[in-house]
Structure 1
Amino acid sequence: MTAVAQDTFVDDRLAKRNAVLLALAQALGGASASIVITTGSLVGYMMLDEDKALATVPVSAMVLGTAFGTIPAGIIMRRFGRRAGFMGSALVGVASGLLAAYAVLLNHFLLFSFACGLGGFAGAFVQQYRFAAADTASDAFKPNAISWVLAGGVLAGVVGPQTVIATKDMFAPILFAGTYVAQAGLALIAMFLLAFIKIPKPPRQSHKQAGGRPLGQIMKQPRFIVAAACGICSYALMSLVMTATPLAMIGCGLSETDAALGIQWHVLAMFGPSFFTGSLIARFGKERIVSIGLALLAGCAVVALMGLELAHFWTALVLLGLGWNFGFIGATAMLTDTYRPEERNLVQAVNDFLVFGFVAAASFSSGALLNSFGWATVNILVFPFVVLCIGLLVWLAMAERKAVTTA
């Protein structure tokens, strides 16, 4: 074995170890998020007396907290390292769960929304798990490392909704207070797992290279523009439809358990394909996988517009999860082509700030759109953004082909 091959082998052994630990932590962090997604709008609906359009505010607060946490997450981990940042954020997640449970017991809407936002801030660090897995991976293994971590969401797809079903009546007659106590426990277990990850600092650069390129120069790259746009649309469209779905299901006479199980299937569809998404990217290319994801998001909207039976909601949620998986993982893999090792923390943080800023806007507007214009309008809005992203992918392919021809 050559020295280069041996180094790659050693690096990928470390990458695989980190990816497994981060996948387990992702399962717990993802479960916490799915708990808020499943119950946040329902708790808000029960707490509000008049303006039910604000029922999705707790879920939106979680997403907004993630958006606000992305830049601090990058700065903290650049200064103190991945492990310290991840463990500290898990502790914030524990506090968030306990505060949310207290707010539910008090029937305090603003405090509950704040607690969800605090959980979202911790979630900004969870979003960095996929990038952390790629930090120690070879170029060939990076897509698989990202996929492995996101595959941890398969367990989250079971743990989160089942936690809701098992604990929603723990403090009966007050619904869901026990669920948030359990959420705090999940974050505590994640903190223990994160103590064992090992991610060395990036290779030392020369003084001239240490700061990397200006951010504006990186963001002007056509590949960055398209990767960010596809990541934003994949996640924001998923959030728009997903946030409204539990309320729409309850409004159609379905039960809280139906809604929780629907979110379970949705989260399973989000993360289940991650076991092979990396291999598909390696075989067919990042851009093709993103395109398939966008087509699946459009398919979700088509099914949702076909009827209001339980089967329509669940099928749409599954397609929504599959579309997010291919679209977001593919866009994340595209993004890793746009930065150097010394630039990764800043670029990753800026990308996630953009993504979750738009996701927060989509989540917040979801309740108002559903309340004012109905379920059909929420789904119709998916189509123009899918067309936009497909157009950007075509533009990128033409631009890169032209660059190769003129080189």
Structure 2
Amino acid sequence: MVEIDDRLARRNAIILAGAQAFGAASPPIVVSLGGIVGVWLAPDKALATLPVSLFNLGVAAGTIPAAMLMRHLGRRSGYVVGAVLGALAGLVAAGGIYVGAFLIFCLGTFLAGNYSSFVQSYRFAATDGASFAFRPRAISFVMVGGLLAAVIGPQVAIHTRDLFSGAPFVGSFLGQGALALIALPILFMLRPVPMPAAAHGGGRPLWQIVRAPRFIVAVSAGTVTYALMSFVMTAAPVAMVGCGHTVGEATLGIQWHVLAMFGPSFVTGRLINRIGHSATTALGLLLIAAAAGVALSGLAVAHFWLSLVLLGVGWNLGFIGATAMVTECYRPEERAKVQAANDFLMFGTVAVASFSSGKLLDVAGWETVNWIVFPLVTLVLVMIGVQELMTRLRTRQVSA
């Protein structure tokens, strides 16, 4: 067996972590303020979370074009285009708020989602040329950059929201665009990874790959993990303000949540190497269920914040674990289309979840939003359990 040198993969993972620190600061700004600005601008309060839903739809819609662009131009050039798009998104969203146009603001958040489709693929780019053993850690390296984003994004939102008198939050979205530009010089440091000669072919048909049980379980686990996190997180700031808590408390709650989303990344890669992808993902799903349990136990600031922290940690374990599972489902020549298919399915579902969250919160309330978590978590845990059981049975048959 040829030993793979992970030095270039490690270097690129660190660079991508730096870019993630600024690129991943965009979602906290949109999520923490999108619903609040929506309440102010939307003609119907039930549409308050539409900007956040369109952000997630923008991620889904951007995954395949982003993958195609990077396939033709390379990772670095594609990411530079994405960062420029992120700057444009901030300008459009800020302009929509300034003129009081809900649809323009929604267009800005949709474009911000397109930008995030590039940022989301950083975690896959970090595994290019990496050994199987290093892949979980490479993904974790990139996700650690999100820890800085968890501080940068909400703080930019808080300290710039009153930058323009009479037009609250315009400065916050201008700041979002500026953060995308700051990532540009970091992205220029990215180095291309030489791929095997076989990697230039087409590989297996996509339909054959996505029908494999391992891929189905991996994408289901990642999709449910991300969708439930978005489902609850999107509703949380609006629910907090509706319960009499301040916008500042809601924004800080999202900051703690995003810190919890990325903070465990220091150890998640090692945890996966120790207990496996499936067990790590299952643990993350159990923590998401625990978050719903806390949310159902009370409406104080502490209940909201603790629930959001547990939700963030659960997302980290479930998302990184599921991502590592996906990287074992394709060959080098199949990476672009499989990664794009995974993210398209995931973020398409997340968009529906975030939009449904606003509707459900308006019609049925915060408690119903959290009760929905339990059956979905149970379903995926059963899928993971069956997959692991089948894998062990096949291993015993081979060894026998």
The one-letter amino acid paired with 1:12 is D
Q: Which amino acid aligns with 1:27?
A: A
Q: How does 1:186-335 map to 2 (within 5 A)?
A: 186-205=179-198, 210-335=201-326
Question: 1:76 corresponds to which residue?
Answer: 69
1:139-150 equivalence runs, <5 A: 139-150=132-143
Say which of 27, 37, 40 aligns to 1:33: 27
**What residue in structure 2 maps to residue 19 of structure 1?**
13
Contact 2:19 2:186 in 1 (8 A): yes
Report whether the alignment pairs 1:53 with 2:46: yes
Unaligned runs of 5+ in 1: none
Equivalent of residue 391 in structure 2, options 396, 400, 403:
400
Distance across 2 between alignment mates of 1:140 and 1:399: 23
User: Residue type matched to 1:196 in 2?
Assistant: M
Alpha-carbon distance in structure 1 between the residues aligned to 2:47 and 2:194: 44
Counterparts of residues 157-172 of structure 1 (less than 5 Å): 157-172=150-165
Check whether the contact 2:129–2:194 (CA below 8 A) recurs between aligned residues.
no
Cα RMSD (Å) of the superposition?
1.2
- Deviations along 1:58-117, one digit per CA (max 9) or x if unpaired, are 011110000000111111111111001101010000001011111110010000001100
Q: Per-residue CA shift, 1:283-309, capped at 9, x if unaligned?
A: 111111011001000000000000000
Q: Are the counterparts in 1 of residues 59 and 114 from structure 2 also a CA contact under 8 Å?
A: yes
- Post-superposition CA distance 1:136-186 (Å, at most 9, x none): 322111100000101111101100111111001000221100111111110
**TM-score normalized by the length of structure 2:** 0.98
Distance across 2 between alignment mates of 1:202 and 1:4? 15
Identity of aligned residues (%): 54
Ranges in structure 2 where 5+ consecutive residues have no aligned partner: none
1:91 to 66, 69, 84: 84
* Residue identity matched to 1:100: A
Counterpart secondary structure, 2:126: helix
Q: Does 1:371 align with 2:362?
A: yes
Aligned residue pair count? 398
Q: Quote the Cα distance in structure 2 between the aligned partners of 1:406 and 1:77.
A: 42
The amino acid of 1:194's aligned partner reads: L
Shift of 1:191: 1.5
TM-score w.r.t. the length of structure 1 is 0.96
Query: What do residues 21-67 of structure 1 show as CA deviations (whole Å, max 9, x unaligned)?
Result: 11111111111111001101111111124x20100000111100000
Question: 2:8·2:193 contact (CA, 8 Å) conserved in 1?
Answer: no
Query: Per-residue deviation at 1:201?
Result: 4.4
